Amino acid sequence: MKEILVIAEHRQGELRDITMEILGLANQLAQAHGLSVTGVFLGADASPFSQTLARTCDRILVVEDPGLDNYNADPYLLVLAQIISQQQPYLTLLGHTAMGMDLAPALSARLAIPLVTDCVGLAFPRDCLEASRQVYGGKVNALLRMKPSSQYLATIRPGSFSVDLAQDKTATVEKLPSPSWEGLKGRRFLGYLEPEVEDVDISEADILVSIGRGIGKPENIPVAEAFAEAIGATLSCSRPVADKGWLPKSRQVGTSGKTVRPKVYIALGISGAFQHQAGMKNSGTIIAVNKDPKAPIFKVAHYGIVADLFQVLPMLTEKFKKS
C-alpha cells in the first residue's frame, strides 16, 4: 500500500500544532485514496509523544538519538534522506515552518523528488498531485498540477487545517538505527532565544475580541476594551493595529503574529485578509462586525453584523453588563 510520510515537528518537549494539522490532512487523503499514514519522529526520546501520534498514524518510525533532540539541518537531512530512500513513500509532508522550509528543498534536491511548498490544500484527482496555494497576499488561489512521479514532497502552511485528534488508530512503533554523523561539519544547535515576556498570551484565551483598522485611532480602543471586559474576553488585534503600535505585537493574530483557536473569536473592524484568517479561522465560533458587506472576514465568520462597530459595541456592552 502506498503511504504518506508525515515528519513530526517538536520543540522543547512539545509537539508543534503543525504536526497534528498535517496528520489531519494526511488522514483525509489516506481515507479518500486508500493510502496509509506513517509518522516519523526524530529526537532523544519518543515515548512522551508516542501515544498522541499513535492515534493518528498507521505506524510510527522512530530514530532516537540525543543529537536529534533539537532541530539541526545537517543530521536531520542525513536521517530523513535515508528514511525516505528506504521507505519510498508516495507523499512526504512537512510544515511550512522554519524547519520545513530549511529541510524540504534540500531533501528534494538530494533525492530528486518534486516539491511544492506553502500548500493550503492537496488532492490526487488523477495519477499526480494537485496543490492549492495562495498568491498575491491571499488574493488569488493557484491550483498547481505536479508532473507524474512515484514520489512527492510538500510543505503545508500552518493554520490551513484544523487539529484532528478524532482518529482512533493504534499505530505500531518501529525503531530505526541512527546513522553515524561523526565528523559531520556544518551548523550546530546552540540554544533557543526566548521572546520577551508578554503581557498576555492570546493563544490561551477562550474568548478573543480582536480589533482591526476599523477601530480608527488609538483613542477608540477603550470602547473595545470595555466590551471585552464585559464578556470576559482578551483583547487582540490584526497586523495594522500592531504595526501602528496601538497594541503590542504579542496581541497580533495572523501569519506574522499568533495562531489562535479560542472558543469564540469576535472580529471588530477587521477586513479579514488571508494572513489574518490563517491565524484564527479554526476558532470555535467566529463573529464579525464590519461596515463592508463584502469584507473577506464574512467568508469565515459563523455570524456577521454589517454595521458600524461604534454603534454596535456600546449597546452590546450595556446588555452584557446588565446580564
Alpha carbon distance 112, 226 (integer Å): 57
Question: Which of residues 158, 175, 192 is at a domain's end?
Answer: 175
Cell of 94: 512537512
Q: What pTM, to 2 d.p., does this model score?
A: 0.78
Residue 166 has a CB neighbour count (10 Å cut-off) of 9
On whether residue 191 sits in a domain, the answer given is: no
| Whole-number Å distance between alpha carbons of 150 and 33 | 15
Give how many domains the chain has, as a whole number. 2
Report whether pLDDT(165) > 70: no
Together in a domain, 121 and 32: yes
Residues 148 and 293 in one domain: no
Q: What is the pLDDT of residues 238-284, one digit of tens each?
A: 999 999 999 999 899 987 888 888 999 999 999 998 889 888 988 99
Confirm whether 110 is domain-assigned: yes
- Pairing between β-strand 91-95 and β-strand 14-15 as defined by DSSP bridges: unpaired
Phi then psi dihedrals of residue 154, to 5 deg? -150, 145
Q: pLDDT for 118-156, tens place per residue?
A: 998 999 987 789 999 987 766 678 999 999 999 999 999
Residue 195 within any structural domain of the chain: no
Is 113 among the domain residues? Answer: yes
The runs of H, that is alpha helices, within the chain are 17-33, 47-54, 73-87, 98-111, 221-231, 239-243, 274-280, 309-322
pLDDT confidence of residue 186: 73
Report helix, strand and coil shares of the chain as percent, to nearest 5. 35, 30, 40
Would you say residue 248 lies in a domain? yes
CATH of the domain at 278: 3.40.50.1220
Residue 194 maps to a domain: no
- pLDDT computed for residue 321 by the predictor: 83
pLDDT tens digit sequence for 181-231:
766 777 777 877 776 656 788 988 999 999 999 999 999 999 999 999 999
What is the torsion angle, in degrees rounded to the nearest 10, for the CA atoms of residue 308, residue 313, residue 314 and residue 319? 130
Domain span including residue 51:
3-175
Tell which of 175, 193, 210 closes a domain: 175
Q: At what angle do helices 221-231 and 309-322 cross, to 10 degrees?
A: 30
**Would you say residue 7 lies in a domain?**
yes
Q: Among 132, 157, 175, give the residue marking a domain's end.
A: 175
- 56 and 166 belong to one structural domain: yes
Name, in order, each residue with C-beta under 8 angstroms of 283's C-beta and a sequence gap of 6 or more.
208, 260, 261, 262, 263, 264, 265
**Distance in angstroms (rounded) separating the CA atoms of residues 277 and 158:** 11
152 and 37 part of one domain: yes
| pLDDT tens by residue, 232-244 | 999 999 999 999 9
Per-residue confidence (pLDDT) for residue 197, from 0 to 100: 56
User: What is the number of residues in the chain?
Assistant: 323
Kindly state whether residues 20 and 142 are assigned to the same domain: yes
Report the DSSP beta bridge partners of residue 290.
Answer: 306
Q: Considering the domain boundaries, does residue 258 fall inside one?
A: yes
